[in-house]
Amino acid sequence: MASRRQPPLLSAGSRAPGFRLPRLEGGEGTLAEFAARGRVLVVFFKVTCPVCQLTMPFLERMHVSGTLAICAISQNDAQDTREFNRTFGITIPPLLDSEDEEFPASNAYGISSVPTMFLVEAEGEISRVMEGWSKLDMEALGAAAGIPLFRADDNVPAWKAG
């Protein structure tokens, strides 16, 4: 039995691959659509991932601010993704990267762990790649979004692997 090679994770300086994925609530979304307003944070997550469960509520704070476009891409089905959003109070409208379709966007970006995030500039170049949880990376994203991401009462770890 031949093994399938995992494509390498894209790095800063790479061109962000375009994609067209189903939206959770119907229709389709594309990277071009998200990038139309400028830079966009592309976030790959899985609902059962504890580090994703830690990360997504902070990304929700950025989403609510409206200062940075966030394209959340769930590697789960619609029902599980909907339940995750309800449980964690997430209003970021996710796209679905289906296992039935062999995870086309995840494979194009070389995802091997979640959460993995890519800050994509307006011209399509990836300027930052973040795997897992890093408080410093999250603070930098907050600064890029023009908001203080953490509050005084947030007790968050410095780092967690995805």
Instruction: For residue range 78-87, list pLDDT tens digits in order.
Output: 999 999 999 9
Q: How many structural domains is the chain composed of?
A: 1
Residue 94 pLDDT level (bands cut at 50, 70, 90): very high
CATH number, domain of 96, equals 3.40.30.10
Say if 150 falls within a structural domain. Answer: no
Report how far apart, in Å, the C-alpha atoms of 23 and of each of 18, 29, 72 are: 15, 6, 10
Express each pLDDT in 20-55 by its tens digit: 999 999 999 999 999 998 999 999 999 999 999 999
Q: Please indicate, yes or no, if residue 159 is contained in any of the structural domains.
A: no
**Do the domain assignments include residue 46?**
yes
Taking the model in full, what pTM does it have? 0.95
Predicted pLDDT of residue 76: 97
> What pLDDT score does 122 carry?
93
Does some domain include residue 2? no
Cβ neighbour number for residue 54 with a 10 Å cutoff: 17
Q: For residue 3, with 0-12 CB atoms within 10 Å meaning exposed, 13-18 middle and 19 or more buried, which class applies?
A: exposed
* 136 domain residue, yes or no: yes
Identify whether 130 is part of a domain. Answer: yes
The answer on pLDDT for 4 being more than 60 is: no
Structure tokens at 18: 């375009």
Residue 158 lies inside a defined structural domain of this protein: no
Tell me, what's the pLDDT at 7? 87
Q: What is the pLDDT of residue 31?
A: 97
Residue 53 falls within a domain, yes or no? yes
Contacts of the segment 87-94: beta carbons below 8 A, 24+ positions apart: 88/53, 88/56, 88/57, 88/60, 89/57, 89/60, 90/56, 90/57, 90/60, 91/60, 91/63, 91/64, 92/56, 92/59, 92/60, 92/63, 93/23, 93/24, 93/25, 93/29, 94/23, 94/24
The model's pLDDT over 99-149, given as tens digits with 9 standing for 90+, comes to 889 999 999 999 999 999 999 999 999 999 999 999 999 999 999 999 999
Question: Can you give the residue range of the structural domain that contains 42?
Answer: 20-145
